[in-house]
Structure 1
Amino acid sequence: MKRLFFLSLLLGGYTSMQAQQTQKPPLHGKNWMAVTGKPLAATAGAMIFQQHGNAVDAACAMLAATCTMWDVLSWGGETQALIYNPKTGKVIAINALGVAPTGATPAFYKGKGYDFPPEYGPLAAVTPGTAGGLCYMLAEYGTLSLKQVLGPAIEMAAGYPIEAQTANSIERGKKYIQEWPYSKAVFLTHPGEKREAPEAGEIFVQRDLLATLTKMVDAEQEALRKHKTRKEAIMAAYDRFYKGDIAKEFVRGCQEQGGLITMEDLAKWKPVEEEPLHVNYKGIEVYKLQEWTQGPMLLQSLNILENFDLKSMGYNSTAYIHTLYQTMNLTFADRDFYYGDPAFNRDPAIKGLLSKEYAKARAQQINLAQNDAAAGPGDPYPFMGKTNPYLHFLTERNALTDTTSGRKPGGFVPKHDAAMRSGSLPAGVPTAYTGENLYAGNIPDSAYMDRLWRGTTSVEAADKDGWVVSITPSGGWLPACIAGKTGIGMSQRAQSFVLDSALCPFNVIAPGKRPRVTLTPSMALKEGKPYLCFGVQGGDTQDQNLLQFFLNVVEFGMTVQQATEAANINTNQLWLSLGGTTIKDREPRPGSILLNNTTSEKTRKALEQMGYHLSFGERTSGPVNAIYIDRGHGSLWGGSSNHGEDYGIGW
């Protein structure tokens, strides 16, 4: 029945989704809602809500739990968040992304033969941000103690039944894990046996991480005994992590294995609270983090799509798919050239990029009959009354990436990265890109798809008092290099920098600079009140899937659960942000498109005639997690994708 339903949509017309059955039931709650990427982590959020914590407390507990469960992130990674504060009626942004360490310069990496910083190992690490971001959010906007909020994660570090996905990821990556002594000691619980990783359901114990988290709580409790305030006590734990004995062991273990992070790097780093970016789409204010993430790409896309009547085109009709793809061509091209850490950029382009006038001009560039394989960055500076100081880089960029001139676009592959390329496809990569669906040319292979979909998780929480939280944390995923006896896996986010200004003048690596990341929590307000919070994992596909989720709700009337499961498209006509160490690994695949298996033959043929290279998947929504705030009924709706292990609990 579902196949026939989606087929009818793809043939062109749109019918009401309100009665359509979903594979997962929608979640309903009156008091609170907790949704995240792992069932045990959602339970951790529920535990905190039951202790009368608010949505920030619960979100921090879910964040801590997911970090303790590895697979797609760990404690050495990074955290990005949007929080709606009902006391002020404003959305605030938390930037807890680490920075490039001392010595991390283009010359350093080029001297080692890289076209990009490596994917794995100590030289892929930026400073850890998640621990600091969690402490800051909890201190400023939570209500409970760090001891309470870390309680579930501490219990899990002492031993929890490991899930099959994580256990199998360890086994697949064991030959790389064996190269890092501290990782080997933690992950390979059956050394010398045929299967060295834990088995699904085995009690997985992390003694070093348990000691680290306990030290943080001890610092908080000692501060409370000295009559410090709740905030001061939580920040005492923060200081122990970034300036005390935890920091010393982290730095020692990092440098022992060849990393660059110093004590000064950790002590100088701080999470940043900043103003989010937002645009108005048909009366709905949509919020994203600043251009150190890819989030504004979704905002730019909404501005462009506002110039088209999407609803009349029909959900996933040929016209809708083509318009969406061409819009993303333009906004990803802008992302790839203009986004980067605004603290390091003197002439930011973001005001022009988000202007409605610029969007209208870009919309007029769209060829409604054919894919534009040459779509490139626009020039937003005239829309700010300025002259673009970076246009000369576009010419250099074309020369740098030209493979017809005889120049080989990179060739050196670091040891760890070469090993990973020869491995099997990691968990989470859709089956669309295996077996008979692999094609030559612009259709991506499995290694490319690993880089495109490389995972993280999302954390969504809301409560009856109006607090709403959307977090997209990541970093330190398997196979992770653990820093000393801390139990903390180092981030791999440095790989999202570039080494040449011609590729992106705003995102060239430098000590103290944040890389431009794919991580992108989302929030929407209607009539000044929370309407949706939503997030997804999946590298460069994140804002593609979130854009379509939002349109599914706003344009096509889907419920939040229907919107998480509905068939999306994905484009590969973009520069990859993760993986690969050569230009060729990351360059765009013009016209390459992922479609759902249910796409009609009529639509397939039409798209091929328009210059697209098609591949297919059974589930193409991405693992979206979301909460809809139903003001009409005074309730909360939770949506959790049928794509992976994502899970939610409401009350």
Structure 2
Amino acid sequence: MAITGKPLAATAGAAIFQQGGNAVDAACAMLAATCTMWDVLSWGGETQALIYHPKLKKVIAINALGVAPSGATVDFFKSKGYTFPPEYGPLAAVTPGTPGGLCHMLAHYGTKSLAEVLQPAIDMAAGYPIDAQTANSIERGKDKIKQWPYSKEVFLVHAGESREAPEAGELFVQENLRSTLLKMVEAEREALKEGKDRKTAIMAANDRFYRGDIADEFVRGSQEQGGLISKADLANWKPIEEEPLHVNYKGIDVYKLQEWTQGPALLQSLNILKHFDLKGMGYNSAAYIHTLYQTMNLAFADRDFYYGDPYFKPKAPMQGLLSDAYAKARALEIDPTKNNPFAAPGDPYPFENRKNPFTNLLKKRAALLDTAGTGIKDFVPKHDAQPTLGYLENENAQSLSSLPVDSSYLDRLLRGTTSVEAADAEGWVVSITPSGGWLPACIAGNTGVGMSQRLQSFVLDSLISPFNVLTPGKRPRVTLTPSLALQDGKPFLSFAVQGGDTQDQNLLQFFLNVVEFGMSVQEAAEAPNINSNQLWLSLGGGKFDDRKPRAGSLLLDKRVEKSIADQLKGMGYTIQFGDRTSGPINAIFFDEKHGTLWGGSSNNGEDYGIGW
């Protein structure tokens, strides 16, 4: 089973399967293809992966997130007037992670050569018929693209015309990127000629990217445009293989990456929801939606304050945050009758027998940051969809229907990354949520590689989070969050989604749709979701007010019944409605009873799956 964000990329994964590759080989081919197609990411971005190893019978976590360059300090950005690091351009970049992550996964857990898994991407770099969505995204971002000479050369193929981006169906050629990929393959081939083994040869390609002539050009091109990444930053970076975090929910072990992602927020939510009869409430009833919203707000409040790079101090209190006792205490905070506009970080330290060193900071934070927000009636969640006019026959109808929508923000956040899911007959399972270097992207010199924009997920003020303050060499806390679930020690679900801060909100609901409400994997991927905006946004917006939580702001699918919406309104919610309330969810269900795989890919994007 091969599923990812574009049909051509899914076909690349299927082709590798047909050539005898395993799920890791296929996943690497899909990852390479989606980066080459600019499926809201590129080769300079980051890769986050969970792999089920059938021989070891364990889940392995891959941390291939880049780090802040050596010149990226709080003082540097504050001196330039930034409240958060910038959204776009060379100053938004962390070091590339995807090439190293791909090489590491392939070398250690795949069976194919780098040349084989990169061949579809190399073919596409030579020219593929670009899809309308990507072509139109280039056109929308052309004013930013024109700031960066190497990006302008690649993307604006009709410079000076009314439409400067490629047209849908036009052959999109990326000769510089093709040359970069061929250099990596050449490094592998030369190592094999010298008698090196397969793994060493693949890592020779990795070294050429991070320490050789590709690195030289990447750094030159970045610094020419004002970027901070140095040769030492690239040479010193490497992916990290980690132990994932997990909790058990009703006999199912759910695995997520560590707190450098938002993944543990889903685990915290599941722990809290153990204390409620969700099935008894009924799918998407007012009580169910309210309970989900309150639970997510508590988990995300903890995410906003406590999560960050575990390889830097302070170390997040994950033992306390994921303890059953802490979850029970948080569950008791939920009022079943109304929204709590002041949901705040809890205190997990006593649950691991420690004293919270940030008590005073939390008090100051609560006093200075009005998490209840202001102007709630005039806020549209910048998540997934333009509000429809359905159910607006109430006193908010005029304000809701007339609110402006930032189409570029919606485009980026709705399709704001991609996901890769793969599984094979031998038992290998891969779940990846790669991202970074999305359009409009700044390309680093003549490499053809778009630089990451993930630096914006750092904070410059410990008041928001002392764990995620920008520091050179540190990884930002990202929204990217693949998922694996095991039942009786065997794969049960592999699932991931696009969509910034909505990812673990939507994945939580997808999981509950399957486990609590018995939906098939495809039904669960297409089912109506809710989104909360009562959390700190991780992407976009240069001011505190742009990212602050919006209390009670609830996005509902337009299919939700009016009576449910009216009940929620009476509980203190400000409600918006959307045609699409989730990014595309991609998933694989493992049917142990019949020995088969069930693939699911939601109808909210171009995502596509191929099974054989």
- State TM-score, norm by structure 1: 0.90
1:121 is matched with which residue?
Answer: 89
- AA in 1 matched with 2:424: D
Encode CA deviations 1:603-636: one digit per residue, 9 max, x unaligned: 1111000000111112324310000011111111
1:272-291 equivalences in 2 (<5 Å)? 272-291=240-259
Taking structure 1 as reference, are residues 438 and 360 closer, same or farther at Cα in structure 2, changes over 3 Å only? Answer: farther
RMSD of aligned Cα (Å) = 2.1
1:446 is matched with which residue?
Answer: 406
Contact between 2:522 and 2:599, CA under 8 Å: does it hold in 1?
yes
The gaps in structure 1 that reach 5 residues or longer are 1-32, 406-424
2:544 is matched with which residue?
Answer: 583
Encode CA deviations 1:37-62: one digit per residue, 9 max, x unaligned: 11110000001000000000000000
1:510 is matched with which residue?
Answer: 471
Encode CA deviations 1:329-363: one digit per residue, 9 max, x unaligned: 10010000000001002442111000000000000
CA distance in 2, matches of 1:367, 1:200: 51
| Displacement after TM superposition at 1:445 (Å) | 4.9
Contact between 2:271 and 2:322, CA under 8 Å: does it hold in 1?
yes
1:641 is matched with which residue?
Answer: 602
1:317-396 equivalences in 2 (<5 Å)? 317-396=285-364
Encode CA deviations 1:550-588: one digit per residue, 9 max, x unaligned: 000000000000000001111110000001111011001
Pick aligned residue for 1:628 from 581, 584, 589: 589
- State TM-score, norm by structure 2: 0.95
| Displacement after TM superposition at 1:402 (Å) | 5.0
| Displacement after TM superposition at 1:485 (Å) | 0.1
CA distance in 1, matches of 2:583, 2:47: 20
- AA in 2 matched with 1:561: Q
1:511-526 equivalences in 2 (<5 Å)? 511-526=472-487
2:532 is matched with which residue?
Answer: 571
CA distance in 2, matches of 1:211, 1:483: 14
1:91-130 equivalences in 2 (<5 Å)? 91-130=59-98
1:121-520 equivalences in 2 (<5 Å)? 121-401=89-369, 429-432=384-387, 439=399, 445-446=405-406, 453=414, 455-520=416-481
| Displacement after TM superposition at 1:303 (Å) | 0.1
Taking structure 1 as reference, are residues 617 and 93 closer, same or farther at Cα in structure 2, changes over 3 Å only? Answer: same
CA distance in 1, matches of 2:505, 2:454: 20
1:79 is matched with which residue?
Answer: 47
Contact between 1:127 and 1:265, CA under 8 Å: does it hold in 2?
yes
CA distance in 1, matches of 2:193, 2:29: 23
Secondary structure, aligned partner of 1:344? coil
| Displacement after TM superposition at 1:400 (Å) | 4.4
CA distance in 1, matches of 2:372, 2:22: 58
1:415 is matched with which residue?
Answer: none
Contact between 1:57 and 1:142, CA under 8 Å: does it hold in 2?
yes
2:376 is matched with which residue?
Answer: none
Secondary structure, aligned partner of 2:3? strand
Taking structure 1 as reference, are residues 560 and 404 closer, same or farther at Cα in structure 2, changes over 3 Å only? Answer: closer
Contact between 2:342 and 2:372, CA under 8 Å: does it hold in 1?
no
1:535 is matched with which residue?
Answer: 496
* Structure of greater relative contact order (alpha carbons < 8 Å, 6+ residues apart): 1
- AA in 1 matched with 2:505: Q
- AA in 2 matched with 1:490: M
Percent same amino acid at aligned positions? 72
CA distance in 2, matches of 1:527, 1:183: 49
| Displacement after TM superposition at 1:219 (Å) | 0.2
Taking structure 1 as reference, are residues 404 and 326 closer, same or farther at Cα in structure 2, changes over 3 Å only? Answer: closer
1:409 is matched with which residue?
Answer: none
Q: Which moved more, 1:454-463 or 1:506-515?
A: 454-463
The gaps in structure 2 that reach 5 residues or longer are 374-380
| Displacement after TM superposition at 1:451 (Å) | 7.1
Contact between 2:384 and 2:580, CA under 8 Å: does it hold in 1?
no
CA distance in 2, matches of 1:396, 1:263: 40
CA distance in 2, matches of 1:626, 1:551: 14
- AA in 2 matched with 1:371: N
